[in-house]
A = this chain, B = another copy of it.
Amino acid sequence: MRLALLASAAVVAVAAASSASAEEGMWTFDNFPVARANQTLRTNIDQAFLDRVRLSSVKFGGCSAGVVSGQGLVMTNNHCVATCVANLSTPQVNYAETGFLPKSREEELKCPGATAEILTDISDVTERMHKAGEGLEGQAFTQARDAEAGRIESEACGNDPKIRCQVVSLYRGGQFKLYKYRKYSDVRLAWAPEDRAATFGGDLDNFSFPRFAVDAAFIRLYEDGKPVETPTHFAWNPNKPTEGEAVFISGNPGSTQRLLTQDQLTTIRDVVLPLDQLIASELRGRLIRYSEEGEEQAFIAMDPIVGLENTYKRGRGRMAALIDPAFMARKAEQEADFRARAAASGVDPWSALSAVQPVARELYPSMALLEGGTGLGTTSVAGGSQLFSYARTLVRGAQERAKPSDQRLPEFADSRLSGVESRLFAERPIYPELEQIRLEWWLSKTREWLTVDNPSVRTLLGKESPEGLSARLVAGTTLADPAVRRALWTGGLAAVQASTDPMIQYALAIDADARAVRDAWETRVQAPTDRASEQLAAARFAAYGDAVYPDATGTLRLTYGQVEGSDVPGQRFAAFTTFAGLWDRATGAEPFAVAPKLLAAKDRIDPNAVMDMAVSTDTIGGSSGSPAINAKGEIIGANFDSTVLTQRNAYGYDRAVNRSVIVTTQAVTVALRDVYGMDHLVRELGVSQDRER
């Protein structure tokens, strides 16, 4: 027994030493471990494979997607187009209920505000970025680097609306790369199934396997009113996948915190997750009750509730990891190994990061609630009110554009203005009741967490109540009208200051407090963290060489693994689910009622066709919609989830429990052909119209 334990500790040490177990890692395309992947998977991929995959992979908002035809057709998840579907729907014509089923390309509809991007170039700008911060401390350090990033982006991309440039920080500042994207601003919805076909099992089955969801949808890239030609794309493979086969997943995982120290993780466990989760839970309650007040309310609340429940459940999975003694012991061992190797160098970023934690703990609630964008948690300013977000963008955009680009808040640098504008001007529905609920909840939670006598809370509320103030702002504002927003944006600071719109006035009134807390955060938390993380990254390269991969940053990565079930306690399942399993699990009661059109097609569907599969690939939120590719470069599915145990993935890959959940191209083929009659898409994908049984 003793020996066995020691042996297992040795394995952990080796894993820590190489910093990646066999299938671990969300690798950048310019540092993908081709040899190791081929050895692990018995495949034979090469640089040409990597280039083809990269150029067929799409970043679609916070999701990922893959080009599947030569005419700009792109597969992603249905939940990635849910906001688009909601924006195109009304309570009367509700595409979430019916599916969005255009009979031809002419009926495809533009998703308001949506863009899609393909990564075309990667170049190294580490030296310029490090030089920009040299010798600086605190906010001066942060600002100088932000300004340099803005300059690099502008120099490389100019004002071309078809290209986006982004300086990406990798290894928490250890490297900086310039990513260049081909950008498409006319993205149309080409197919979405009934929402219930994609979300069967609802929040209860979310983050779990076995799973019975056709969480797929198609968009199409347009330019100059015509579909974009995309000669480089994935070939569509409509066949049943094989257990054990190799799978590559190419997508844009949003954020991991694997390089965080123990002390940083403790801050997340004690302060960040509890605040985020507790207040989200209350909003969930408010929205659930609201959705029960009538059919229109149910329609309005659906999309927000789904999003909220997803974030909340992910948070529970992460908390489960942070309180798991075995998992945290392994993290501690890895840190001990690393510190021992780094001890000789004389730098001690761990102590610097420890010293930051009490400040981060103190400032997190005000930063999260007044400003948002902490980089740590999910709480955002104004409770996610769209109207307030417009107001703040207009106010700050006006203030910032009056300065030279390199002195602005980085989100308003010249290189980023076109993105800001396309989000600001996009036409999308605004539901005043929903806005009021969000603002009331945010004001009341901010008062509760910062306490009633906090000076910023006094600024926020004056003598008003959260109920009264939120009602007044929502009733009085005209920012729901895109023309009003455009006029204020164009009018600049003078127009904004002269505006009598209560939401604009409110955003102006509370701006100084929000900027002050952001200043404090950047000076006392962000800058020293960035500085220490850069040292940590250098130490990590010195200790483990190229065998380390960077934390996810919402940019394109490639990960690999195998089709595989699971046999750990609390998570036992086979590698596949079939349509037969769906019919079995259905109870008729929500959320286990089968979508009507899907149910009506039951007799036409091969019960043994595979719906979803589990894969050992290393994915995380943002990987949604990522193409799953076989060793021949054919698309065999779209990643749409991972199990709740996999949520520890934020802090470390755990081969035993890590499973991505994939909707198969076989299931999508069945849905298009046998359920929804999308014949023109079936033809476009090159699939036979005949069912194979």
Seen from chain A, the residues whose Cβ lies within 8 Å of a Cβ on chain B are 201, 203-205, 208, 270-271, 274, 277-279, 281-290, 292-293, 319, 323, 437, 441, 447-448, 451-452, 463-465, 467-468, 587-590
Contacts and interface: CB of A to CB of B under 8 A. Distances in A.
Contacts of A208: 451
A377 B347 CA distance: 45
Contacts of A590: 465
A464 to B, nearest CB: 6
A282 B293 CA distance: 17
Contact of A282 (B201, B203, B281, B464): B281
Interface centre among A201, A285, A587 (most CB of B within 10 A): A285
Contact of A286 (B204, B279, B285, B467): B285
Interface centre among A270, A287, A463, A467 (most CB of B within 10 A): A270
Contact of A468 (B282, B463, B589): B589
Given A281-B281, A284-B285, A285-B285, 12 more contacts: A203-B448, A204-B447, A271-B323, A277-B278, A282-B284, A283-B285, A285-B286, A285-B287, A286-B289, A287-B289, A289-B289, A468-B589
Nearest to A463: B587
Contacts of A203: 448
B448 A274 contact: no
Given A204-B447, A447-B204, A452-B204, A465 B589 contact: yes
A208 B451 CA distance: 10
A559 to B, nearest CB: 27
B464 A589 contact: yes
Nearest to A312: B278
A17 B62 CA distance: 57
A448 B203 CA distance: 8
A613 to B, nearest CB: 19
Contact of A463 (B277, B284, B290, B588): B588
A285 B281 contact: yes
A451 B570 CA distance: 10
Contacts of A293: 293
A276 to B, nearest CB: 11
A391 to B, nearest CB: 23
Contacts of A292: 467
Nearest to A266: B323
Contacts of A587: 463
Contacts of A452: 201, 204-205
A66 to B, nearest CB: 31
A46 to B, nearest CB: 44
Nearest to A449: B316
A78 to B, nearest CB: 21
A12 B565 CA distance: 54
Nearest to A292: B467
A204 B454 CA distance: 12
A265 to B, nearest CB: 13
Contact of A279 (B201, B281, B437, B441): B281
A474 to B, nearest CB: 14
A398 B521 CA distance: 62
Nearest to A271: B323
A289 B290 CA distance: 7
15 contacts: A201-B452, A203-B448, A205-B452, A274-B319, A277-B278, A281-B282, A281-B285, A282-B284, A282-B285, A285-B285, A285-B287, A289-B290, A292-B467, A463-B588, A465-B590
A228 B590 CA distance: 58
B589 A463 contact: yes
Contact of A289 (B277, B285, B448): B285
Contacts of A286: 285-286, 288-289
Contacts of A282: 281-282, 284-285, 288
Contacts of A588: 463
A204 B448 CA distance: 6
Nearest to A273: B274
Contacts of A277: 274, 278
A448 B204 CA distance: 6
Contacts of A288: 282, 285-286
A259 to B, nearest CB: 23
Contacts of A204: 447-448, 451-452
A292 B436 CA distance: 12
Given A285-B285, A463-B589, A270 B323 contact: yes
A278 B277 CA distance: 7
A281 B589 CA distance: 26
Nearest to A316: B278
A87 to B, nearest CB: 25
A271 B320 CA distance: 9
A287 B282 CA distance: 10
Interface centre among A270, A279, A281, A283 (most CB of B within 10 A): A281
Nearest to A283: B285
Contacts of A281: 278-279, 281-282, 285
A285 B274 CA distance: 16
Contacts of A290: 289
Contacts of A279: 281
Contacts of A287: 285, 289
A292 to B, nearest CB: 8
A465 B587 CA distance: 10
A425 B278 CA distance: 37
